[in-house]
Structure 1
Amino acid sequence: MTDLATGPLADLIADRLRHALTPSHLHVSNDSAQHRGHLGDDGTGESHFTVTIESPEFAGLNRVARQRLVNRALADLLATRIHALAIKATAPGE
């Protein structure tokens, strides 16, 4: 498994996803600097993220169902701390 998290919120995202989905690959990228000064930038430097995740939990699921699993694992953070989340979710072997 590969993890890259930069900052406390990125670390928390990675921890939540590891616990909920047991990924074989996980990469959390903090994209907030690209959105500095835009709507949704709260000034913390931790508002916009991309998650690339591979998990056996995604086998047989379509893209929307996979994204729902990720969103469910991060629901409270999406409601309070994450403004934007891009998700790239695959099953092993895809």
Structure 2
Amino acid sequence: MSLEQQLIERLQTLAPTHLEVVNESAGHGGYFPGKESHFKAVIVSEVFAGLRLVQRHQKVYAAAGDLLSPGKIHALAIHAFVPEEWKGQATPSPECAHAPKSS
């Protein structure tokens, strides 16, 4: 099973009303086809109600568990919302300084 699919399954434990996991590995240095190292997760869940941003991220890290260990997921951009905050807004990721340069 791919790292992406494993991450999706683990984040489902947060009972999201919306979950989007994007493999952003191709935009980072050292990329080769099939590499899974950089992801973005947009998660909307009542589990985050009353929590500060850092606490929301801690919940996501806990759910991802050992997928964030060396040799697996190198970076995870987290966008965590409660349903009242979520408006389908854009959640862009920053450019990687080591991204492959386009010609």
- TM-score, reference length from structure 1: 0.82
Checking the alignment, whether the CA contact within 8 Å between 2:26 and 2:32 is kept in structure 1 is no
Q: Deviation digits for residues 34-82 of structure 1, max 9, x if unmatched?
A: 0142xxx687510000000000100110100000000001120101310
Against the structure 1 CA distance between its residues 75 and 42, is the aligned structure 2 distance closer, same or farther, given a 3 Å change threshold? farther
Name the residue aligned to 1:72.
Answer: 62
RMSD value over aligned CA atoms? 1.8
**Percent identity for Structure 1 against Structure 2:** 46
- Of structures 1 and 2, the larger Rg is shown by 2
| Structure 2 unaligned regions, length at least 5 | 86-103
Question: How many pairs does the alignment contain?
Answer: 84
1:25 aligns with 2:25: no
1:50 aligns with 2:40: yes
Against the structure 1 CA distance between its residues 12 and 33, is the aligned structure 2 distance closer, same or farther, given a 3 Å change threshold? same
> Distance between the aligned counterparts of 1:25 and 1:59, measured in 2?
15
| Structure 1 unaligned regions, length at least 5 | 1-6
Q: Quick check: which one's helix share is greater?
A: 1
Runs of 4+ in 1 over 4 A off after TM superposition: 41-44
> Distance between the aligned counterparts of 1:42 and 1:71, measured in 2?
26
Name the residue aligned to 2:4.
Answer: 10
> Distance between the aligned counterparts of 2:3 and 2:66, measured in 1?
12
Q: Does the residue aligned with 1:74 lie in a helix, a strand or coil?
A: helix
- TM-score, reference length from structure 2: 0.75
